[in-house]
Structure 1
Amino acid sequence: MPLYEHVFIARQDLSNAQAEGLIEHFGAILADNGGKVVEHEYWGVKTMAFKINKNRKGHYAFLRTDAPAPAVQEMERLMRLHEDVMRVLTVKVEAHEEGPSAQMQKREERGERGERRERR
């Protein structure tokens, strides 16, 4: 089955437990349609670069899934209809990376960024 990574932003006025409950809810939707959540991460409340629906902050969540395309489409459809979810991003990947995502790693663990190029 295809592999996907999803990030969604939920409203800031939810509690942490409610935001993590959304992860479980959408994971259950995938399971009902023949997919599964391989791994999930709750990134916490973060400040956004711009306002979305008059909100400056949001609960960020990350899902790694192994699901058929119709299951992912159904989950995305229900995410977009859910009143607590503000934004959704889904990316199809060749393989899931091992370990935590870059958001969850400490700055020292991420590795060097490389040298900057000279500007002309």
Structure 2
Amino acid sequence: MPLYEHVFIARQDLSNTQAEGLIEHFGTVLSDNGGKVVDSEYWGVKTMAYKINKNRKGHYAYVRSDAPSVAVQEMERLMRLHDDVMRVLTIKVDEHAEGPSAQMQKRDEREERRPRRP
């Protein structure tokens, strides 16, 4: 099955448990349609670059999935209809990276940048 990575932003006035509940809810949508959630991360409340629906902040969540395209389309459709979800981004990847995402790694654990050109 194809591998996907999903990031979605939920409204800032939700509690942390409600935002994590959204991850579980959309994970069950994937599993009901023949897919599975490989990994999920809750990134917390972060400030956005610009306002979305009069909100400056949002709950960010990240999900790695192994699902058929039909399951992903259904999950995205339900996310777009859900009142608490403001934005959705889905990317098809060749393979999932091992370990936590770059958002969850500490600054000193990340790979060093390549040197600048002279």
Q: TM-score range by the shorter chain?
A: over 0.9
1:115 Cα offset (Å): 1.4
Comparing 89-98 with 106-115, which one deviates more in the overlay? Answer: 106-115
Q: C-alpha deviations, 1:72-93, integer Å up to 9, x for none?
A: 0000000000000000000000
The alignment partner of 2:102 has SS state of coil
* Residue type of the alignment partner of 2:7: V
Determine the structure 1 residue equivalent to 2:115: 115
* Residue type of the alignment partner of 1:65: S
Determine the structure 2 residue equivalent to 1:78: 78
The alignment partner of 1:91 has SS state of strand
Matches of 1:28 and 1:113 in 2, distance apart? 38
TM-score by length of 2: 0.98
Matches of 1:5 and 1:95 in 2, distance apart? 10
Gaps of 5+ in 2: none
Gaps of 5+ in 1: none
Q: C-alpha deviations, 1:46-93, integer Å up to 9, x for none?
A: 000000000000000000000000000000000000000000000000
% identical aligned pairs: 81
- Alignment RMSD: 0.6
Matches of 1:49 and 1:14 in 2, distance apart? 20
Matches of 1:100 and 1:89 in 2, distance apart? 18
Q: How does 1:1-120 map to 2 (within 5 A)?
A: 1-117=1-117
Matches of 2:105 and 2:112 in 1, distance apart? 13
Moved over 6 A (4+): none
1:117 Cα offset (Å): 3.0
The alignment partner of 1:40 has SS state of strand
Matches of 1:76 and 1:17 in 2, distance apart? 21
